Structure 1
Amino acid sequence: MIVLRDSSDYSDSEVDLPSIEVNGERGNVPTSVLCNVEGSLLNSNPALRQPNLKCIKHNQDVENTTFQLDLRGCRVPSSQPQVITELENNIDIPKNIDAMQNWIFPQTQQYRNYQKEFCEQALFHNLLLALPTGLGKTFIAAVVMLNYFRWFPESKIIFLAPTKPLLLQQRVACSNVAGMSPGATAELNGEVSPDRRLFEYNTKRVFFMTPQTLQNDLKEHLLDAKSIICLIFDEAHRATGNHSYAQVMRAVLRSNSHFRVLGLTATPGSSTASVQKVVDCLHISKLIVRNEESIDIRSYVFHKKIQLIKVTISSEMNILKSDFANLYRPYFNFLRQKKLIPINCECLNIKAYTLFVSLRKYSFSSKNVQSKEKSKIMSCFTLLISCAHITYLLDCHGIIQFYQKLVETKNKAEGKGSGQSFWLFTSKPFAFYLEHLHNKIQGLSLNHPKMNHLLELLKEHFKDTSEGYQNQRVMIFTEFRNTAEYITTTLLAIRPMVRASLFIGQANSAYSTGMNQMQQKETIDQFRAGVINTLVATSIGEEGLDIGDTDMIICYDASSSPIRTIQRMGRTGRKKSGKVFVLLTEDCEDSKWERSQVSYRRVQKVIESGKKIALKKDVPRLIPSNIQPIFKFQALQNNADATLILNSYNNNSSSLSPVNTLANQAHSRSKRYLPFIVDDVFEDMESNLRVPTEDAKIKRFKSDYRSCIYNARRNVFSKPTYMGDKLTKFAKVPHSLLTLSIYRRGRLLQQCSPSSVTKYLKYEEKFKRKRMKKTSNALFQST
């Protein structure tokens, strides 16, 4: 759909029509069938009115409203908002035509044909590239950045990474490949002050940023979205929903659709729906997915030997599991009598996923039912889901983790003071069971059967001479932090053969404190240097960070997500053949492993067939259509070094500031290593404390007015107190006089129109004058 409108209404996002060649002549060719001229043609002067019409293509990116003219020529808003976005091709962006005659591919020691092909696709399409770990996704991104840096001499290129440790790592890698000097790039995150970021935007063109920082800078207009020519998303499978990646993409598309997108990931998603969400969010027009069995990359992938080790829990653990099941069995039988649980579901081997599906079905079927029985049923479902998770910890991780979770759940239930969880976890039978479990843990050292297999695997791997195992490195993955700490403590018994270290995230848990970024970096450096030969990691070690190649991977538990499984196994087999061992508990984790593998294979087949993934077809060509860049090998001078980048970053962060502000002075002080999400929250708080603009004030007025009218319609205000002509001196008024006046004036108002906002502003000024008058009278009387 195309709508023709006056260009004055789209001053922020004016674009030209797509320019194509027809019979040797170039012209603007619209691609629509419907036109609508905004404004009243009957009330305007034809001699003075000279509309400059623009072409707008119907799409689903930017929300707007189309208008219809009534018999008098006035605009009538449509009952249904339509989503439109501008179609452009030949936007006036400075280009280097000479540089566009070719695209450069750096000469490397090992040329890989698939990298050349993928680079060519990424230069001319919005590409989502899914490659196994270690096959050069960063190299491809660097080549794309290099060529867009040459082609568009005034536009900006931004590489986005989800965490701060990834920024420096990707900056060094891309700069080494593309031969960029440290002064040409900048690393921006929440620790860099807004003034400093503004200075970097005005002086540099290549940026490595966290998505939260870019989102905030676009919101505060520190960076013009129209100046962006290339956006690269690392770990692009995160770009769904309200993730910062998705919000950044929406913010840029509001005013600019003339830029290139490259998404990098190991696996695009765990299902077809999740892949489609990523494609829609990043506006992808080309999708390339490869696995280790793909023909074009098979010769560059080393063999990985994957072995599954299935274990059974001990008899003591079975007794503990049965006794715990007897505690929550009455609640299970209650739901079974209501026929809300599947028949094949057993109380002893209850699964949280099965209960969650049953809960959703019941919630939809009884959406409009309000009764005590419904609240009891919902409370029983919540209790059983919690018990199923606790049972899973006993089956797959051990008695210690099982006991810790019971204590944590008991403390939470006591804080609530009501509900089925409160009655179960504060009952005398549960207290007796918890005391019995505590005595058993204190008396014996009860290891999970997985731990015995883990120790045997490590001893077998490091049994060679001292020189042999110094160069060998092993990573152990587990889902929970307390399990990782328990494994690390247990491995102390076989030092110095196994020199293990913990590698976890930054957030603090109930039983441990996290690792800050400095501690994480130090641990990785020791692992690379051989000081540590075994790394026990949670999900933080699965993606992103360049930990290096490892000889053996041990998965202490199975993940139902194929993304996490592929990322775990991708840590080995990069430079030589590797081994992967997966420890599974029978009748618990083996089915989860099978589901993840089936899901991964199904998604791969769907993507390869190209039938169920809808790609975008309205992505414009960025270079002129009469130019076809030619492939060119070129040796680039490697003038980027990690030390130089670090030094340049430290020097630039404390000098050359355009404005001497308190923010710049605070930035020059010693850094505090806080979780990156905390920095982003502080950054948002800082932006909220700034003086609001006039547009922001109007939005707040509208919001306050709407909420006031909504409360008035629900009769929230007390009539005896508020409906009188005058307020008494001792009347309790929970709202301000301004809110009360809005309520009185807006009782019959159907919607918040511009005229109502004008009234709102007038009454605000009126009360300000009254307040100032009373203050001046009081001061006069006191004097």
Structure 2
Amino acid sequence: MPMALVIHPNITGEVEARAYQLLATQDALSGNTLVVMPTGFGKTAVEWLVMAEYLNKEGIIIILAPSIGLVDQHYNMAREILKISENDISILTGNTSPKDRPAIWEKSRMIVATPHVVRNDAQTGGVALKDVSLIVFDEAHHAKGNEPMAEIGNLYFQANPRGAMLGATASPGTKREDILQVANRLQIERMHLAKREDDLLKPYATEMHIENHRIQLPEGIDALISPLKNQLTNESEYLRRGGFLSAQVRLTSRAINEAQRRASAAIERDDKRGYDAARRIGDIRRLIRLIDLVETQGVKCALAYLERSDSERRKKNRKSARFLSLPAVHDAYRRLGLMDEIHPKLKLTKKTVTQGMRRHPEGRIIIFTEYRDTVDILCEYLKKDARLRVTPFIGQASKGDSVGMNQKMQREVLQKFRDGTFNILVATSVAEEGLDIPAAERVIMYEPVPSAIRAIQRRGRTARKSDGDVHAFITENTRDDYIQLASHNKEKKMFANLENLRRQARLPRKMPSSASILDSFSVKTSDGEIVPAEAFIESEKERLIQQEDVQEEEIEPELIQEEEIRLPQRPSSQRGLEEFIDLNAIESHLESAQEEVESIDPKKSKRRRYT
């Protein structure tokens, strides 16, 4: 059956008519709006509709995207969808020469740009923001602190208080103050919150299955780590006796930073004990890193870390020489060099990948990891299977012997992943956001991430056009466990804060949203009938909204575990998690998530163990 299409004088391409997108457009045309919509439900389509209406107004339209890859994507889609000539739309990025930018600003009706270029031109007078009618902030969660997006929001409001701003994101932030900061920097008047369980969104969903694989460490790794933990305890107790670490305080990041401050203060007083304390604090930081790598990544990744330290030692780096001379570290270095990989994650990755390829022989799989060493290890291991066409995908920065990928290389890799030359992409965090990465049938998270925003973005790489699944690997009683708890709770808090802010009307509304603002829009229904956009929205509400759900009621934010989740289509009772872990041991690794765990409400979930 033909799909319903949006009709507007400035839309030349095909835009599927979806009632929830038209409602978001209605809000966005009524005043500065932050659209929060799940990944893959078409936030970009809302941006097109708003820009189509603003093409009827005087002034420049600016679309901000956080990377050159996304800038290119927005430019191409605007050319395809909107009624705008090639001469009237331009790209501005760091690759654009400063001497060419004034002429581009002068001739263009629409600019697609990276934020830092617009910020710099606005500050130097290269562009008069008073002549801008609309700024679209894609991935608007970046509009915080000293980020260029946030600074542009301030500069634009100062230059043109009547100018319009539209922010769009799947995840504006976890904390209430973070969300309010985005709203304040973009002068947001209304929050449009769309959730995957909303009746108007359900017809456009595909299935995503999320499964957490709980992994037990083998005895060989426990035996390797035990002396390192004893060394860590000894170093910590020495600092406590010296008054640098507070007594009976867990070894958290905050406690270590405070110890560093006290050591620095002692050095300023010419107290020689401060120098020794500072050296020991450096050793403690490295010990924690080494333990985490062994527990969450495995033998080979930890060995690579120590080999780099050894290389630094040979270059007369005294800090690395001191660290490697610690008895437990010296012994661990020797033993790691003699061991094969025994961490279960590596074989579990191979098993999960081959299962995915059997299910979707022509499909794509993305494996996310935090560490470049793990990227190299996984690629080498998976390439042994000739059926798997594996490629790494990393950021541009070069680190030590690891050479980064420039933008040209990244684009080439993504194109080969798109056309099937490669079917397995092993990526660091660079693949989470800001690049036009093809959808995958399966996403593997080699370790959890502490950020709700990043977790949402990683999951959003699958189940866009068809069903997909996400597999998260969690090593029990390690940093993995703690981060997983914190990330889940942060995501709960984000949805709860968004809902509360919307309900409590914390944002100033200059005028109520009016359906008449969509008068320029109509819809060609699947039957070929042309109807006003407002009539289409009402008919979709009647068709899709369940009567028992019409009355607004308090919505409990979801906790995403292993469950069937409805995600968009794009143009058993067991113990709670906290019962399996020793939180006191884990808290020493991540202070930043400490407060999140205290309020966790565990849910029943399926769990698998791997040893």
TM tier, smaller: 0.7 to 0.9
Aligned-residue CA RMSD (Å): 3.1
TM-score by length of 1: 0.60
Q: Is the counterpart of residue 182 in structure 1 residue 82 in structure 2?
A: no
Match for residue 331 of structure 2? 433
Q: Shift of the alpha carbon at 1:175?
A: 2.7
Considering Cα pairs closer than 8 Å and 6+ residues apart, tell me whether 1 or 2 has the greater RCO.
Answer: 2
> Where does 1:232-631 land on structure 2 (aligned, <5 Å)?
232-337=136-241, 338=243, 340=245, 343=248, 345=250, 354-359=251-256, 371=269, 372=271, 373=273, 376-377=276-277, 379-409=279-309, 424-425=322-323, 427=325, 429=327, 432-433=330-331, 436-437=334-335, 439-440=337-338, 444-463=339-358, 469=361, 471-495=362-386, 497-588=387-478, 589-610=480-501, 615-617=506-508, 630-631=519-520
What do the CA deviations read for 1:410-466 (whole angstroms, capped 9, x no partner)? 666888977xx56841536367426514631xxx431421011111112222236xx
Q: Shift of the alpha carbon at 1:579?
A: 1.1
Equivalent AA in structure 1 for residue 229 of structure 2 = A
Q: Secondary structure at the match of 2:447?
A: coil
Compared CA separation, residues 358 and 214, structure 1 to 2 (3 A): same
Compared CA separation, residues 200 and 579, structure 1 to 2 (3 A): same
> 356-365 or 188-197: which moved more?
356-365
Contact 1:272 1:612 in 2 (8 A): no
Q: CA separation in 2, counterparts of 1:339 and 1:367? A: 10
Q: Shift of the alpha carbon at 1:268?
A: 0.5
Structure 2: state its 5+ residue gaps: 1-7, 525-611
Match for residue 753 of structure 1? none
Contact 1:104 1:632 in 2 (8 A): no
Contact 2:298 2:342 in 1 (8 A): yes
Contact 2:11 2:83 in 1 (8 A): no
Compared CA separation, residues 105 and 206, structure 1 to 2 (3 A): closer
Equivalent AA in structure 2 for residue 404 of structure 1 = A
Q: Is the counterpart of residue 201 in structure 1 residue 105 in structure 2?
A: yes
Q: CA separation in 2, counterparts of 1:634 and 1:181? A: 24
Equivalent AA in structure 2 for residue 357 of structure 1 = R
Q: CA separation in 2, counterparts of 1:379 and 1:567? A: 38
Q: CA separation in 1, counterparts of 2:322 and 2:62? A: 53
Match for residue 124 of structure 1? 30
Compared CA separation, residues 366 and 298, structure 1 to 2 (3 A): farther
Equivalent AA in structure 2 for residue 140 of structure 1 = V
Contact 2:27 2:192 in 1 (8 A): no
Contact 1:410 1:425 in 2 (8 A): no
Q: Shift of the alpha carbon at 1:563?
A: 0.7
Contact 1:327 1:430 in 2 (8 A): yes
Q: CA separation in 2, counterparts of 1:493 and 1:411? A: 29
Equivalent AA in structure 2 for residue 358 of structure 1 = A
Q: CA separation in 2, counterparts of 1:110 and 1:629? A: 16
Equivalent AA in structure 1 for residue 306 of structure 2 = L
What do the CA deviations read for 1:610-629 (whole angstroms, capped 9, x no partner)? 279885538699x9x9x956
Contact 1:229 1:260 in 2 (8 A): yes
Compared CA separation, residues 267 and 629, structure 1 to 2 (3 A): closer
Q: Is the counterpart of residue 136 in structure 1 residue 42 in structure 2?
A: yes
Contact 1:106 1:634 in 2 (8 A): no
What do the CA deviations read for 1:508-542 (whole angstroms, capped 9, x no partner)? 11231111111111111111111211111111111
> 360-369 or 330-339: which moved more?
360-369
What do the CA deviations read for 1:32-80 (whole angstroms, capped 9, x no partner)? xxxxxxxxxxxxxxxxxxxxxxxxxxxxxxxxxxxxxxxxxxxxxxxxx
Q: CA separation in 2, counterparts of 1:329 and 1:295? A: 54
Q: CA separation in 2, counterparts of 1:439 and 1:362? A: 33
Compared CA separation, residues 342 and 296, structure 1 to 2 (3 A): farther
Out of 73, 80, 87, the position equivalent to 1:169 is 73
Q: Shift of the alpha carbon at 1:296?
A: 3.0
Contact 1:126 1:619 in 2 (8 A): no
Match for residue 21 of structure 1? none
Q: Secondary structure at the match of 1:303?
A: strand
Q: CA separation in 2, counterparts of 1:341 and 1:290? A: 46
Contact 1:226 1:256 in 2 (8 A): yes
Please say which structure displays the higher CA radius of gyration: 1
Q: Secondary structure at the match of 1:302?
A: strand
Number of equivalences: 511
Compared CA separation, residues 454 and 425, structure 1 to 2 (3 A): same
Compared CA separation, residues 423 and 412, structure 1 to 2 (3 A): closer
Contact 1:473 1:550 in 2 (8 A): yes
> Where does 1:28-107 land on structure 2 (aligned, <5 Å)?
none
Equivalent AA in structure 2 for residue 123 of structure 1 = L
Q: CA separation in 2, counterparts of 1:293 and 1:393? A: 38
Compared CA separation, residues 166 and 325, structure 1 to 2 (3 A): same
Q: Secondary structure at the match of 1:262?
A: strand
TM-score by length of 2: 0.76
Q: CA separation in 1, counterparts of 2:437 and 2:96? A: 26
Q: Secondary structure at the match of 2:159?
A: coil
Compared CA separation, residues 367 and 127, structure 1 to 2 (3 A): farther
